[in-house]
């Protein structure tokens, strides 16, 4: 039996501003960057972590959504319209719990993977409930997984996904630092991704946001972009600009 052919993937990385507590503005920003990626014939776009209200925003208590829900339905419509898959981080409500969640929506608008952040920082546990599961799915001839930001800083989580067959991990992020510390923080993050992909046939594709952290214990820090992509054997394939919004592109080979 002949295996289905696997085509290269043109991936758009939406390095966008996330305004803390402003769900309406953030959804408009997300919609605009998805449309731009669709018009430029991306196969998939990845967007940052907690894109509805911003990581650590107390507005999540009001604005988190069920999955499926209105926001994921909107993304599903856009995925179908542009025949483009979407990875996004959002604040998910289930019962009394709020989860820091990532979704993979396929080109037909179906949610095919959902991941709830496991390695949530202690400072965030008053807001988000930890996830408890890892999942790898078939996506257009590839084995694809999701994690979220600091999940990648935990070697055994990446190793588990790899042993489960993952070839690509898409990782919505919201890393931040004190102003002036961007280069140091980005270098540390690069070291983590390089370590996770070293001696593996594995890609990690991250999307970080930009903007000010305006509430919570990290108030005063900045989300500085510098989205990164690493490939097999620790090769850095992309390093986005610092403190600058934009749609970045990376091509993942067949």
pLDDT digits (tens, 9 = 90+) for 133-190: 999 999 999 999 999 999 999 999 999 999 999 999 999 999 999 999 999 999 999 9
pLDDT at 142: 98
* Rounded mean pLDDT, 70-78: 99
Tens of pLDDT, residues 199-226: 999 999 999 999 999 998 999 999 999 9
**CA 175, CA 168: separation in Å to the nearest integer?**
20
Domains and CATH numbers, the chain: 9-252 (3.60.110.10)
Report whether the peptide linkage leading into residue 68 is cis, meaning its omega lies within 30 degrees of zero: yes
Model pLDDT for residues 84-141, shown as the tens digit of each residue:
999 999 999 999 999 999 999 999 999 999 999 999 999 999 999 999 999 999 999 9
Angle at 168 between CA 166 and CA 172, to 5 degrees: 115
Whether the full predicted model's pTM is greater than 0.95, yes or no, is: yes
**In the chain, % of residues over pLDDT 70:** 98
């Amino acid at each position: 039996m002949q295996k289905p052919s696997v085509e290269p993937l043109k991936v758009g990385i939406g390095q966008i501003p996330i305004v803390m507590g402003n769900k309406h503005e953030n959804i408009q920003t997300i919609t605009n960057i998805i449309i731009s990626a669709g018009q430029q014939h991306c196969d998939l776009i990845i967007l940052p972590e907690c894109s509805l209200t911003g990581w650590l925003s107390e507005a999540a208590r009001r604005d988190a959504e069920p999955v499926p829900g209105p926001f994921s339905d909107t993304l599903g419509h856009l995925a179908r319209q542009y025949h483009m898959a979407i990875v996004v981080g959002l604040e998910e409500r289930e019962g009394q719990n709020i989860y820091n969640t990532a979704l993979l929506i396929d080109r037909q608008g179906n949610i095919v993977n959902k991941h709830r952040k496991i390695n949530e920082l202690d400072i965030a546990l008053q807001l988000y409930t930890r996830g408890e599961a890892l999942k790898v799915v078939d996506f257009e001839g590839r084995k694809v997984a999701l994690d979220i930001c600091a999940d990648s800083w935990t070697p055994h989580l990446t190793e588990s996904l790899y042993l489960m067959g993952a070839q690509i991990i898409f990782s919505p992020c919201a890393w931040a630092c004190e102003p002036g510390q961007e280069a140091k923080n980005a270098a540390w993050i690069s070291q983590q991704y390089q370590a996770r992909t070293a001696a593996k046939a594995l890609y990690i594709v991250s999307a970080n946001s930009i903007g000010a952290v305006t509430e919570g214990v990290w108030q005063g820090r900045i989300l500085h972009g510098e989205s990164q992509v690493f490939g097999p054997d620790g090769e850095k394939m992309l390093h986005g600009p610092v403190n600058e919004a934009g749609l970045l592109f990376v091509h993942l080979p067949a």
